[in-house]
Structure 1
């Protein structure tokens, strides 16, 4: 790591001037370094965050209110890019008083990797009218001493490369696969960006959205290892996260013969739900 704000660097997009574009269409460049990978391929949640960043910047170029954030990002994964430079094309589909919609296409060397639809608006800031407590809210606000510290030298950190650019602690009582055991398809964990990334609100929001895909596949708790490719991922930003550790619970209710769903609930240091996500993935072969 050569920077104090690696996630901000990941999600930084640069406008590329292209003659002849339709009104509302823009082109961008970004760089996804090798640290943002699972094994050799780029992490899906990181690509979702880069797409959300491009959508946000395209809207700000139209004079959007600074409080507007990507409140829903729905991404379909078409191919698995390698680390390196990527190109993004944004198309503004709607710019209303409360909601804007931007389509984003992320590609590499002319090959489409992600197609995303991003809805932008103002997240909740007042107290909720009604809420059902999620198990993530019952986790301690900070990881306890017995939580597994996933460092770059940890076996999990050697696969989840962004352990070098963020802080990750895993609840060993749920991640039974770390001990060679089996359990329910549920994994609890804590994660937090580096201080400079956390201090930048835009970056903290994008990091929270990435956390909608931060857990190792819950299939590992059933003894099913190997690549579990995400086919579609949708993440909702409910609130801007408060500074501090994010509590994450990943869980699945149906592990099919070919497909499984995985839901993430992300809670901030105040106990508020900040991100909810669901993905459809393929079972490890």
Structure 2
């Protein structure tokens, strides 16, 4: 899964950066998503493979906090990028004549900067609160990576502030992003169903299909994982582990596949690349 994730997202970034006709807001935001997916997977999977393959189950506290920081930053950034994507689709469908005026390259760059800044400012206090805790019970983390709730449960300090900050983060950041996405799609669907012809409605729906798939793959496992941790005392540990792994493994794996298959322009570029590779190999042989 990790190798497919690396290949798929790297290919997606390469295609978007090298094909000038794909230097449009929608595809630039997709390249941001692929970059965040690479960061999310790479901050998580290599250590897991080291545990499984080489039995290297140790990690320093500083490295654990660093891993936790990058996982959570990537997660918050991905939520923000999905919100930016739905804004792009909203402008393209609800106000198409002003699309190029509103979503300029400068605006996309500012969006990217805002995503990074927001993610850092939100997650840094979260990690700082964990760093201040005193650990006196055990140093065994019952996870394949440094998951926040798994770490805080090892402390002998009061974790009320840290726990409530995590709840506020989930509700006010991820929850708000999801709510804004839902409202935006409500407005988009209202505009689509007011279009005069069936063909134009289907075309507009098709442009949103890939984003809807990616959004569901991102929020669904994260939502169930969050709920599972809130009721962790009645759910077996291996179920919590499975859910925690799913929401950092599945979206980075499937996101590039969805965009490379459902987006016509990207699919053409992928086919051209493989066609050139096959042609070169046949000439060499």
The TM tier, using the shorter chain, reads under 0.3
Higher normalized strand content (fraction of residues): 1
Highest RCO, 1 vs 2 (Cα 8 Å, sep ≥ 6): 2
Larger radius of gyration: 2
Normalising by structure 1, what TM-score?
A: 0.27
Higher normalized helix content (fraction of residues): 2
